Amino acid sequence: MGFRQRIVNMDVILLVATLSLWLLGVVSVYTTSCRLGVLKHGDGLYYLKNHLFFSVIGLLTFIGAITFNIRRLKDKLDPKSSISFILVITAFILLLLVFIPGVGHKAGNAKRWINLIFLKFQPVEFLKFALCIFYANYFSKYARLLSNQKYGIFYPFAILFPFVLMLVLQPDLGTAVILCAWLCCMLFVAGADLRYLFFLGLLLVTLATMFLILTKYNISRILVYFDPWKDPLGKGFQSIHSMYAFALGGLFGRGPGESLEKLFYLPEAHTDYALSVIAEEFGFIIVLSITILYGIIIFRGTKIALGFTDHFRRSLSWGITSIFGMQAVINIGVVTALFPPKGLTLPFISYGGSSLVFSFLMMGILINLSMEKPELFPSNGAPSTLLGEGLGRGRAG
């Protein structure tokens, strides 16, 4: 199929939703970071300039991902020369580099960045992309064996465990939990046995609970989550003022640049709590619009995944959609105090070069997959049912 025909088949709604979020993100970075730019760098446009620089890189990556031949992401017979093997090994090395003095950059109590010459790079963003490619290949190769305990549970989590361990050591418990939940979701949809997944879920919850009990800092965050006013000047501070921002913004907002919360009360206003500032300045209507855009991306991505009968493309579509959607839902849940505080950016909206570039990359691949129209339906003419297949295999196992 020629490229012109593929363009005709492109999911335009997904494209428009992605670019709309990016444009809203440019406005968000400007309004949430101008004061911080003046205080830290003497330039109110400092963060916006950086964001636009990464936007150029991201848009070029986006175009490249849309025009890229997806077949090149599928593994060859030799596992050591496969793209997925190379990607996960690279991700592992990058995660190790954050622990090397002089290379890793520490912010707060966490080492999550690598110091490059002109910028800082967050390897976990690359890790998410690498895992999407790796597990798409894994599920494609072992599609008929996923109802088996060894191939459907043990091997997938044994591969993930070293990455989770390094994330916990940074520490970045939130992302570690998200990746475990994401893999469970991937296995459920791919057709792993539901009984094994259920017991695995219980085990993961037990281990997470034990970890929280052993680390008083994390358990205190959970307790404050239920009642932020128990520690209003400490761990409950951001949650309280995020809710204030939503309340002050009302339906239509206080006006661009008029946020009070970003001036004194939300130290992560341009990253983790960017949506709170948007709520205060532009109101609930814009927040609802952003939420709908994320919903559109999740819906269209799920629809693309449901259409594929090819295990690789189907798993890749669902992997990208689910990891992107989980990050958006969790960030929105944190700023509205539905979830405990977690240092997680909102894709396209929050400031962050690594997050922006890899969000563009994954959305570009998803749009690329939407262009493969002839493979969207099985030969009998009936749409494939990804979720139904997973449930069927789970029962059969």
Q: What does the pLDDT look like over 182-223, one tens digit per residue?
A: 999 999 888 888 888 888 888 888 887 777 777 665 666 777
Q: Which residues contact 347 (CB under 8 A, 6 or more apart)?
A: 21, 324, 327, 328, 355, 359
Average pLDDT over residues 349-362: 93
| Owner of token pair 């709170």 | 276
Distance (Å, whole) CA 370 – CA 286: 28
Question: Could you report the per-residue pLDDT of 86-104, keeping only the tens digit for each?
Answer: 999 999 999 998 888 878 7
Q: Which of 2-16, 334-348, 358-372 has the lowest mean pLDDT?
A: 2-16
DSSP 145: G
Tokens of 363: 């959305």
What is the average pLDDT value for the chain, to the nearest integer? Answer: 85
Average pLDDT over residues 49-62: 96
Distance (Å, whole) CA 40 – CA 64: 35
Q: How many domains does the chain have?
A: 1
How would you label 115-152 residue by residue, b for 16+ Cβ within 10 Å and e otherwise? beeeeebbbbbbbbbbbbbbbbbbbbbbbeebbbeebb
Distance in Å from the first CA to the final CA of the chain = 38
Q: Read off the amino acid at residue 132.
A: C
Task: For residue 121, list its beta bridge partners.
Answer: 114
> Does residue 392 surpass a pLDDT of 50?
no
> Does residue 387 surpass a pLDDT of 60?
no
- Strand arrangement of the beta sheet that strand 104-107 belongs to: 104-107, 110-115, 120-121
Host domain of residue 235? 3-396
pTM of the entire structure?
0.89
DSSP 383: P
Question: Could you report the per-residue pLDDT of 277-329, keeping only the tens digit for each?
Answer: 999 999 999 999 999 999 999 999 999 998 888 889 999 999 999 999 999 99
- Judge contact between 186 and 315, C-beta under 8 A: yes
Distance (Å, whole) CA 25 – CA 290: 10
Tokens of 389: 């297949």
Task: Please tell me whether residue 202 adopts helix, strand or coil conformation.
Answer: helix
Tokens of 148: 């088996």
The proportion of the chain whose per-residue pLDDT surpasses 70, expressed as a percent, equals 88
- Judge contact between 339 and 333, C-beta under 8 A: yes
> Does residue 396 surpass a pLDDT of 60?
no
